[in-house]
Structure 1
Amino acid sequence: MYFAALLARTEDGWEASDTELDDVETLSDLADLAREAAADGADDTVLVLVEQEDAWFGVVRVDGEEDPRVFVSNAAVAARSSYGAMLTDELLGHDQDDEEDDLDTLDLDGTEDGYEDETAEAAEPAQAAGADGAADVLDGPDADDPPSDGAVPAGPLGESAILADLGVSERRLLALDGDALVTIADALGAAEVLEAVR
């Protein structure tokens, strides 16, 4: 089961509202939903908090008309669910057509049985290319950089400093587990308003 909520920053603090993701198919849809929740104008910061049964959580941050910023706590686990796959595909730069094909095979409330096999198949061309020459030899990527071969990494993916200016440091965000959204909301001073919509 999913839980998703919007936290919109206002002059008086944070306002929370629960949200349904049934009509959300892309990150752009999610960003539009967040902008609609902005209480005082288009430049407000809005956070979309998503979690699936403590298996993974995601944060999407929308600041006005800027491109949304995304963090996913465990990309490999999130990619096995429909909304998690939407976020990880965006971060990994997967083709939209491929994304739609993948979503067709995913259970909205669970995972797809053949996921591991598909991941292995996707990794084979990258391994073969690396064996043929030095073109795929990489310098060590930054922590926030997605793998260049498009493979879904086990662990965090996206902008780990997404909430640093709001009181949740990069280190703290990476260490969160379990009731992560509660911890985030508490650090933001929004625990009560989030609890009201849970």
Structure 2
Amino acid sequence: MYFAALLARTEDGWEASDTELDDVETLADLADLARQASPEDDIVLVLIEQEDAWFGVVRVDGEEDPRIYVSDAAAAARSSYGEILLTDELLGREPDDGADLDSLDLDGTEDGEPAASDDDDDEEEASSDEAIAHGPLGDAEILDDLGVSQKELRILDAEDALSAIAEALGASEVLETVR
């Protein structure tokens, strides 16, 4: 089960809103959604968790590039919401430009290449999971100036991380209203 919320810092404190990520396909979409939550260029945090598996924090400061922290990259990689956060840049790999459509047959294989069997798909999926290490990934200093040090962030348990972050920010009550 997933939970996602936006926390926007305003002059009056933190405001929380429950958010649906069904229409979010990219990190840019997520950043745009966060910017809509704050008419000013205030800090907006997108908090995402998959129960007992991983959590992620995306910080959007005005028009700056979003900053990302994921508690367990390998677990997040197996999640549709996690895949949004695990950009090529964050993973330290070259952007995937996609396949060259001219060299593909109609079945999606390259010219002269046999179609992959289901076993090959399973092996490919397993090797892509292995390429992403278990453990935290991203900007561990994402909340330092808000009262959550990188050490505190890294030791948070996925089960209660968002509540602990909200408590440290003084936003636990507003987060619980949307939970």
After superposition, give the CA deviation of every residue in 1:61-96 in whole Å (9 maximum; x if it has no partner).
000000000000000011001110121234214426
Let me know the Cα RMSD of the aligned residues. 2.0
1:15 to 2:29 alignment: no
User: In 1, Cα distance between the equivalents of 2:74 and 2:22?
Assistant: 22
**Aligned length in residues:** 154
SS of the counterpart of 1:160? coil
Match of 2:77 in 1: 79
Match of 1:67 in 2: 65
Compare CA radii of gyration and give the structure with the larger one: 2
Match of 2:3 in 1: 3
Q: When the two structures are superposed, what TM-score results if normalisation uses the length of structure 1?
A: 0.73
Flag structure 2 segments of 5+ consecutive residues without an equivalent: 100-120
Structure 1 residue corresponding to 2:167, chosen from 162, 177, 186? 186
SS of the counterpart of 2:15? strand
SS of the counterpart of 2:52? coil
| 1:120 CA drift (Å) | 2.2
User: In 1, Cα distance between the equivalents of 2:136 and 2:42?
Assistant: 26
User: In 1, Cα distance between the equivalents of 2:73 and 2:10?
Assistant: 31
1:171 to 2:156 alignment: no
Alignment CA distance shift 1:121-1:179 (3 Å):
closer
Flag structure 1 segments of 5+ consecutive residues without an equivalent: 99-113, 124-150
Alignment CA distance shift 1:121-1:30 (3 Å):
closer
User: In 1, Cα distance between the equivalents of 2:141 and 2:123?
Assistant: 29
Alignment CA distance shift 1:165-1:53 (3 Å):
same
Q: When the two structures are superposed, what TM-score results if normalisation uses the length of structure 2?
A: 0.80
| 1:118 CA drift (Å) | 2.5
- Tell me if the contact between 2:77 and 2:129 (Cα under 8 Å) persists in the aligned partners: no
Structure 1 residue corresponding to 2:137, chosen from 157, 161, 168? 157
Structure 1 residue corresponding to 2:127, chosen from 107, 117, 120? 120
Identical-pair percentage: 69
